[in-house]
A and B are shown apart, each in its own frame.
Chain A
Amino acid sequence: MDRGVLMASLGPRPAGGMQSAMAGGESYTDAEVMLRVKAGDQSAFDFLVQKYRRPLVSFMYRMARNTAAAEDLAQEVFLRVYRSRQTYEASAKFTTWLYRIATNLAVNHARDTRKERPEVMVSLDEPDEETGTTMDVADHTITAEEGLVRRERLAAIRGKVEALPERQKLAVIMHKYQQMEYKQIAEVLKLSESATKSLLFRAYETLREQLKEFV
């Protein structure tokens, strides 16, 4: 995850930036790219944005359960990365650092908006407030009843993951949806690897128990 070949489409930049590095077919770790950002290479920052925008929006969406807030928080992560460029040290893996920033922001946002967040609702007639999508009951491959069941199942999944203790929820999102390794999750959460394994086992055990009616 940390090693990225610089083949992303970057905008026009002055010579000597990431474009010339790409032309030479060089590859860099994300930490090395970040060191170029530190040295003032704006195209290196654009590269990191293009690489991590989707994973970060996805992470924030599952933490904030709201598309607009997720995008806002993901942008804030990139801004914080940019602001911290001068103090960045390549001692830790870049993604660990990135997800630590994201985790702090997401946890603070969850605490700030805890009372504002409604319970997960299921409705066939109205569009989903969080995703903006409407259940496609006109889809002839599924009946209205199947659609309702599917939507209930989705609401249950979201509700049960949301209801996990904070660290367990973070660990599940990073493991299941961000495909991160135990070691890296442990570093982000500042836990030992064995404590992280145990945390994840307990979280999945809870989800297995609480979602078994949908399995």
Chain B
Amino acid sequence: MRCDKIREMMPDLASGLMGASPEIGGHLAACGACAGKLEEFRRTMELLEEWQAPEPSPYFDVRLQARLREEIAKPQAGWLAWFRRPVLAAALTVLMAVGVGLFFTRSGGIYKSGDDEIAVVESQAQSAEPGTAVSDLQALEKNHDLYSDFDLLDDLEVQHDVVANP
């Protein structure tokens, strides 16, 4: 058996987790370096034994039971919990961005659809029969600017009179 193989086993041999087989014993008897190293390891292991850990305190179980009760009492995470996950939130953001991008590139955007709505209204206006209440309202709507300037037209007439009768 080679020295490096023995040394790999030294932590177990020195701490008593492994007994020395006849093969290992034979090597240790013949190799002073390995035997010396093993003895130093044993003493180091004994020294390390001095570091003892305390027992769990009497409150350990009580506190754990309390924490466990809190855990059990917590409402079960429903499907909404998925939305609180950062990865899912990021994925949803990307999806929304892609959706908005597709909307603008494919359909020409919000303004295009607004134009479509105007076109629909105009076609409806064209289809309304003249003389009906609907057509009157549509005419008012279409000529809103003109009707709002009626007062201005009155002023213009007065001015014509001034010019005619100075």
> Which A residues have a C-beta under 8 Å from some C-beta of B?
49, 53-54, 57-58, 61-62, 67, 70-71, 74-75, 78-79, 82-83, 131, 150, 153-154, 157-158, 161, 172, 175-177, 179, 181-182, 194, 197-198, 200-201, 204, 207-208, 211-212, 214-215
Contacts and interface: CB of A to CB of B under 8 A. Distances in A.
Given A53-B56, A54-B56, A82-B68, A215 B45 contact: no
Contact of A175 (B9, B15, B51): B15
Interface residues of B, number: 31
Contacts of A78: 64, 68
Contacts, number: 96
Contacts of A82: 68, 71
14 contacts: A57-B56, A61-B53, A71-B57, A74-B56, A78-B64, A78-B68, A150-B50, A154-B51, A157-B51, A176-B48, A181-B17, A197-B9, A198-B8, A200-B11
Contact of A61 (B8, B45, B54): B54
B40 A215 contact: yes
B56 A208 contact: no
A211 B61 contact: no
Interface of B: 7-12, 14-15, 17, 40-41, 43-45, 47-48, 50-51, 53-57, 59-61, 63-64, 67-68, 71
